[in-house]
Amino acid sequence: MNPAARKIQSVYLVLTLGNTLAASFIWGINTLFLLDAGLSNLEAFAANAFFTAGMVLFEVPTGVVADSWGRRASFLLGTVTLAGSTFLYYLLWQYSAPFWWWAAVSVLLGLGFTFFSGAVEAWLVDALQYSAYEGTLETVLGRGQMVSGIAMLAGSVAGGVIAQATNLGVPFLLRVGVLAAMFAVAFLLMHDVGFTPDRSARPVSAVRAVLKASVDGGLRHPPVRYIMLAAPFTQGVGIYVFYALQPYLLQLFGDPRAYAVAGLAAAIVAGADVVGGWMAPRVRRLVHRRTTVLVASTVASALILVILLFTTSFWLALVLLMLWGMVGSAGTPVRQAYLNDMIPSRQRATVLSFDSLMGSSGGVVVQPLLGRAADLYGYPASLAISGGVQLLAAPFILLSRRQRSQADTATDVTAAP
């Protein structure tokens, strides 16, 4: 890796570290926070569904920001929006607000995250190409996932411990503070290179152009289309499972107020992310086609969720949770690299945002349905149902594989369009 590429990678890792640390303060206790505010399981997961609905609603407009004003501008707007909406969440908890207030602010949280989705990854790939990096995308994206896992490990454990020592609202205030610091870091270090924003189009025309580019570069391109169609099943299930594991593990543990245990669960997933990020480029070197990794990861993680139906031991559940996170995270950088190698630079942020939109749309439907299943049949049954839903993604990945895209066997970042 040459010095210019190494600098780009360093900035990417710093941004990933800070963003994940800020977000993860609440990841271990978010469901408990919502239930403590007086929401039912259905309402809590419906609030999460409104969050993902916000991501669906705003993915395209914020994609316009990334392509028209730059990926740096999009990132800065994301930090401000997410910090403000997180503070509103804290106020709703303080005043035990009714559900529809939670729904509205959850949509704003979704808006904050859409400013990040696609923009940072597109910034990285374009900047690496501009700096003449000759390695694989899996290597850099895997390192990013490892850094993200470390940050999540620290943040989720700290969030659970701090919540138990103080109250469930303090981790939300910590997130606001770290996001403010990340605004300053990105303002100083993140600059668009290898990409020139196009500010000539008016907003409505720009949104129309983004939608067209999303369709042309995504849904009309068969190998990309099928990977996108798999996303609602994998990502929708992933969001539900992560948050459902908090109350599920507390039930197995036997203490509903052991918030540190909920933080520990998120930390184990974070540790699995670190291992998975380390494994991704190594597994990729052993396997000729990227879609082989994606199918194996999808099927194996789904089977683990089904096994949780028969688990009554807290410690065994933790081990299975670790395996679930590790198997899933090993496939994530491979999927990112596969998509990026099929997307032209000019459409990169747009198509990646549209891919995120597809995944979020699955969460809008999956989360309340599985939350209702948890109310009716319990968390173990809802997790097993989640595994069945995730298996529906495998046929779409196989259809993408049948297109025999060059990206399926690519090993060099310079192979990207």
What's the token pair of residue 167? 């109250």
Q: Which of 26-35, 259-268, 299-308, 370-379 has the highest mean pLDDT?
A: 299-308
Q: What pLDDT, on the 0 to 100 scale, is given for residue 132?
A: 86
Q: Are 245 and 328 in contact (CB under 8 A)?
A: no
Domains, the chain, in order of start with CATH, read: 3-192 (1.20.1250.20), 210-408 (1.20.1250.20)
What does the alpha-carbon distance between residue 152 and residue 1 come to, in Å, rounded to a whole number?
27
Element (H, E) at 308: none
What's the token pair of residue 289? 């086609």
Element (H, E) at 285: helix 259-286
Q: What pLDDT, on the 0 to 100 scale, is given for residue 201?
A: 60
Helix axis angle for 348-377 and 99-114, nearest 10°, is: 150
From the list 279, 385, 264, 369, the residue with the least C-alpha distance to 317 is 264
DSSP letter assigned to residue 222: H
What does the alpha-carbon distance between residue 209 and residue 53 come to, in Å, rounded to a whole number?
22
C-alpha R_g of the chain: 20
Q: Are 227 and 396 in contact (CB under 8 A)?
A: yes
DSSP string, 134-177: -S-HHHHHHHHHHHHHHHHHHHHHHHHHHHHHS-TTHHHHHHHH
User: In Å, how far are 93, 257, 309, 349, 369 from 248, measured between CA atoms?
Assistant: 22, 13, 11, 36, 17
104-108 own/partner pairs: CB under 8 Å, 24+ apart = 104/50, 106/47, 106/48, 106/50, 106/51, 106/54, 107/50, 107/51, 107/53, 107/54, 107/57, 108/54, 108/81, 108/84
pLDDT in tens, 101-116: 999 999 999 999 888 8
Helix axis angle for 41-68 and 99-114, nearest 10°, is: 30
pLDDT in tens, 347-361: 676 777 778 778 877
From the list 204, 219, 207, 175, the residue with the least C-alpha distance to 361 is 219
Query: Residue 212: pLDDT band by 50, 70, 90 thresholds?
Result: confident
Query: Residue 254: pLDDT band by 50, 70, 90 thresholds?
Result: confident
From the list 24, 21, 122, the residue with the least C-alpha distance to 65 is 122
Q: Cβ-count burial of 303 within 10 angstroms (0-12 exposed, 13-18 middle, 19+ buried)?
A: middle
Phi, psi torsion values for 84, nearest 5 degrees: -65, -45
What's the token pair of residue 269? 């997933």
Residues 6+ apart with CB under 8 A from 393: 230, 231, 233, 234, 298
DSSP letter assigned to residue 135: S
Q: Is 393 helix (H, G, I), strand (E, B) or coil?
A: coil
pLDDT in tens, 44-98: 888 888 987 888 788 777 777 777 788 888 999 999 999 999 999 999 999 889 9
Rounding to the nearest 10 degrees, give the CA dihedral for residues 66, 69, 72, 78: -60
Q: Which residue has the higher pLDDT, 267 or 365?
A: 365
Q: What pLDDT, on the 0 to 100 scale, is given for residue 29?
A: 86
Q: Cβ-count burial of 193 within 10 angstroms (0-12 exposed, 13-18 middle, 19+ buried)?
A: middle
- For residues 27-34, give the mean pLDDT: 85
From the list 20, 18, 12, 13, the residue with the least C-alpha distance to 266 is 20
- Cα(first)–Cα(last) distance of the chain, in Å? 20
Residue 181 has pLDDT above 90, yes or no: yes
pLDDT in tens, 129-151: 888 888 878 788 888 888 888 88
The amino acid occupying position 9 is Q
Mean pLDDT for the chain overall: 84
Query: Residue 173: pLDDT band by 50, 70, 90 thresholds?
Result: very high
> CA angle at residue 220 from 219 to 224, to 5 degrees?
55
Q: Is 380 helix (H, G, I), strand (E, B) or coil?
A: helix
Query: Residue 372: pLDDT band by 50, 70, 90 thresholds?
Result: confident
What does the alpha-carbon distance between residue 133 and residue 127 come to, in Å, rounded to a whole number?
9
Q: What pLDDT, on the 0 to 100 scale, is given for residue 349?
A: 67
Q: What pLDDT, on the 0 to 100 scale, is given for residue 415?
A: 42
Q: Are 362 and 235 in contact (CB under 8 A)?
A: yes
pLDDT in tens, 284-340: 788 888 889 899 999 999 999 999 888 888 889 888 988 888 888 888 888 888 888
* Pick from 34-43, 247-256, 378-387: least confident: 247-256
